[in-house]
Structure 1
Amino acid sequence: MGIISFFGIKSLIIQDPQPESCVVETETIIKISEGTSYDIVFSDSHGDHYYINRGLERGLNLDSLNAKVLNKRVTLHLPKLWLGTSEHIAQLAVGDDIIFTEFSSSDTATED
């Protein structure tokens, strides 16, 4: 039973997401706020919420994100989990402009 629990929990942890292991969704973001543990939470026009894990610690800024993302159509890469799709944002883009990504070999935010 312990091994089954271990693998069940491990399947819910997101480590080193890659584009091929993500679902791509296009949403309109209507609210951006600070969440717990320095997360940045994005709310879409359907009432769904997505987050960048520890986004504020990674150098992202709420004012800048509001200017670039608020009320715009964005493309989200959301990692697939054993039980479905995560709300964790692995990549956020507006058009061809990548605002944030975890896909490179380093764990950096890309906000200009």
Structure 2
Amino acid sequence: MNASARSTIISLFLIISILFLFFKSCVIHNPKPDECEVVSAKVVSIREGSTFDIQFKTDTDNVYYINRGLEQGLNLDSLNAKVLNKTVTLHLPILTFGPSTHIAQLAVDNNIIFTEFEN
């Protein structure tokens, strides 16, 4: 094998490896509390998003979501009563380029409303 072919193979391998690591870092799987950024925000609206997600809009116009929250047994009416117009604490998994908008844990006044953390 000549040097040009060897360089091409090594370059392709490196590119594929970097892409794999990049996309793997964008997948949220089994988040841990120490891998999250903790954010406090006042919830001003709650709505159903795509694919049964529950979206929370804050007073700073940020939108966070619980992935497939409706499929996990959460109810919009119940959430409205518990968190609407209240300051919540969110745990947001940190990805390669900063925190995601995916909610790993949602709490109000130290009462956990939703969590993905395993005990």
- What TM-score, normalized to structure 2? 0.86
Cα RMSD of the aligned pairs, angstroms, is 0.7
Write out the 4+ residue segments of structure 1 that deviate beyond 6 Å after TM superposition: none
Q: Which has the higher helix share?
A: 2
Larger Rg: 2
- What is the total number of aligned residue pairs between the two structures? 105
Percent identity over the alignment? 56
Distance of 2:74 and 2:33 partners within structure 1: 21
Distance of 2:109 and 2:99 partners within structure 1: 22
Q: Alignment partner for residue 44 of structure 2, among 14, 17, 30?
A: 30
Structure 1 unaligned blocks of 5 or more: 106-112
Shift of 1:98: 0.4
Q: 1:45 maps to which residue?
A: 59
SS at match of 1:6: helix
Distance of 1:36 and 1:50 partners within structure 2: 13
SS at match of 1:55: coil
Distance of 2:49 and 2:17 partners within structure 1: 32
Shift of 1:4: 1.2
- What TM-score, normalized to structure 1? 0.91
